[in-house]
Structure 1
Amino acid sequence: MTIEPVAVVPDAAAPAVPELPPKSTRRWTGKAITGQVLLYAMLSVLALIYIYPFLVQVATSFKSDAEATADPISLIPQTWTLAAYELLFTRSDFPLWSMNSAIVTIFVTLGRVFFVSLAGYALARLQFRGRALIFALVVGVMAVPGVVLLIPKFLVLNQLGLYDSYAGMILPLLVDAAGVFIMKNFFESIPVSIEEQARIDGAGPFRVFWSVVLPMARPALITIIILSFQGSWNELNHFIVSTQSPELTTLTKGVASLASGQLSQGNQFPIKLAAAAIMTIPVAVMFLVFQKRILNTAEGALKG
């Protein structure tokens, strides 16, 4: 008995499996390889130029005063010493300066995030007379150099009785024109339809802002947090005109005062650079933690 072959009829209902396109292999020519090598070499040189001062700063903080004077730009100290750090913490008010900077920075960061978010949402969503004029004034403030406002700040703080106090250090920094500009533009990228459902459920403007829109603005909020933290931590000009008591000295004022030679004789390069190196740690940590979330607009605008 012979078995005849049976023809297999393809199932019409079965989905056709698409054929994968052949993998393309990129062929590197000698000219392309040379271009890539030159590009990475140039980027490496630029990166080295950018970070070299910071490396010198850290290395000099571990040198003695004599070695820092004789060889100020070497990256490897001949004799490693913690004398600059010991002198900084035992014979100066560095811990007090750090505490004052931390207090001001925390209050300014939290307050600025809240107030610039409110102002940005009002300019982006609320309809009121003079809204365009107010936004134009906000943008105009961004063009005014900060040094021009130092004397008016001093006069206003002195007239209100806020001079030489924590309130005088914190209150003028709670609102930032650049932060309002960033938040307004981000809120405008969020679809209005997302807020309409909350209004139908009876939510008021502040409830819509706080419960619906603000959680979606996380990328912009993180950007404001980083900028506010960095700006208030490194602020100097405002603290010069708002305080005079040693008890209210911040890190920036204190480190600047080290240039007067108040701790010891010599140029004091290690002490100054040790203080500067410690000052950079909080800002660097803040940036490294949140750098991937800075102004990721798609993350906030598309989630709902």
Structure 2
Amino acid sequence: MALTTQSSERAPYRGRRSRLRRINAGNTALYTVAGLAALLWLVPLAWAVNTSLKPEGETTIVPATWFISEPTLDAYESVLGRGDILRWTLNSLVSTGIVTVITLVLTALAAYGFSRCLFPGRGWLFAFIIGGILIPPQTLIVPQFILMTQLGLVDTYWGIALPQVVAPVFIFILKRFFDGIPRDYVEAARMDGAGHLRILWNVMLPMSRPIMAAIGIFVFIGAWNNFLWPFIVTTDPEMMTLPVGLGTVLGQYGIQYAQVMASAVLGALPLLIVFLLFQRHIVTGVAGAGIKG
């Protein structure tokens, strides 16, 4: 009888250990797949760095190899010496900063309005704005350029930045996040006499810092990498952004693969630094958006 009792008491522990083994096995498989995916993602970056350190003659050897006979920084020296890279970097920082700030302000205001304010036609207007996701940005280049020309904003920071501040997808994401915030906080602020702007500033935004940080970083990365619109709206070399300036300089000297890869590395370096500094905010913001949504 005692043996039966002991075996029945041990059964739940054996079942629990079995479940823990299955969970650990599943986590191990998940981490393995994630590690392989990370390695695959790093291969192009490693190849770009490897090619940028090769002498130009070795970049066209067939079959291509990872081996570098004599690593050199000649490609970086050529790219840095052919253009005003510091000026282009400043232009990218200023225009990207304008895009990021204005996009965050407009996105927060629009998302709060659609989430917490009742007005006629709210659903239709929200559907109209979200429909902008379906419009390819390339189809708007001609009217945007005509508008910038009429406003006298060609070759200016505002001309580069303003057409990039429209971000309906982020309005959608932030609205869903605001919808998930309990209404008790908003009602308590209203009882204290707070208006909509004060509720947004003192209640909604402090609770939305992770998702706002993630949106800001995504907007910054997208604006920094944008080549087509800054290329069209800037004709003065002094106003070129970093991707446009590097691409224009390289285009004047034909295709030289080591220099192309060196320019790609230089252009991606600020984004890599931003990602390493704010990766926790990106992960937290994306996870928070998924939970609130």
TM-score w.r.t. structure 1 length? Answer: 0.81
Unpaired segments of 5 or more residues in structure 2? Answer: 1-9
Tell me the equivalent position of 1:159: 150
Tell me the equivalent position of 2:118: 127
Instruction: Give yes or no for the alignment of 1:148 onto 2:151.
Output: no
Contact 1:65 1:268 in 2 (8 A): yes
> What is the Cα deviation at residue 230 of structure 1?
0.8
2:260 maps to amino acid:
K
Aligned residue pairs: how many?
Answer: 276
Quote the Cα distance in structure 2 between the aligned partners of 1:104 and 1:221. Answer: 19
Superposed CA deviations along residues 232-251 of structure 1, whole A, max 9, x for unmatched, are 00011221232211111112
SS of 1:295's equivalent? helix
Tell me the equivalent position of 2:261: 273
Quote the Cα distance in structure 2 between the aligned partners of 1:293 and 1:158. Answer: 41
Superposed CA deviations along residues 179-209 of structure 1, whole A, max 9, x for unmatched, are 1111111111111111111111111110010
Tell me the equivalent position of 1:183: 174
TM-score w.r.t. structure 2 length? Answer: 0.83
Quote the Cα distance in structure 2 between the aligned partners of 1:62 and 1:122. Answer: 52
SS of 1:168's equivalent? helix
Instruction: Give yes or no for the alignment of 1:226 onto 2:217.
Output: yes
SS of 2:106's equivalent? helix
Instruction: From 255, 261, 282, give the equivalent of 2:270.
Output: 282
Tell me the equivalent position of 1:235: 226
Superposed CA deviations along residues 26-59 of structure 1, whole A, max 9, x for unmatched, are 4999xxx9x9999888766655443322211011
Quote the Cα distance in structure 1 between the aligned partners of 2:116 and 2:96. Answer: 30
Residue identity (%): 34
Tell me the equivalent position of 1:13: none
Instruction: From 107, 116, 119, give the equivalent of 1:116.
Output: 107
Unpaired segments of 5 or more residues in structure 1? Answer: 1-18
- Structure-to-structure mapping, 1:1-304, within 5 angstroms: 22=13, 24-26=16-18, 47-70=38-61, 73-262=64-253, 267-288=255-276, 289=278, 290-297=281-288
SS of 1:163's equivalent? coil
2:184 maps to amino acid:
S
Question: What RMSD over aligned residues (CA atoms) do the two structures have, in Å?
Answer: 3.1
Contact 1:157 1:163 in 2 (8 A): yes
Superposed CA deviations along residues 113-140 of structure 1, whole A, max 9, x for unmatched, are 1111111111111111221122111111
Contact 2:83 2:249 in 1 (8 A): no
Comparing 65-74 and 230-239, the one that deviates more: 65-74
Larger Rg: 1
1:154 maps to amino acid:
F
Quote the Cα distance in structure 2 between the aligned partners of 1:128 and 1:227. Answer: 30
> What is the Cα deviation at residue 170 of structure 1?
1.4
Tell me the equivalent position of 1:3: none
More helix, by proportion: 2
Quote the Cα distance in structure 2 between the aligned partners of 1:189 and 1:224. Answer: 17
SS of 1:238's equivalent? helix
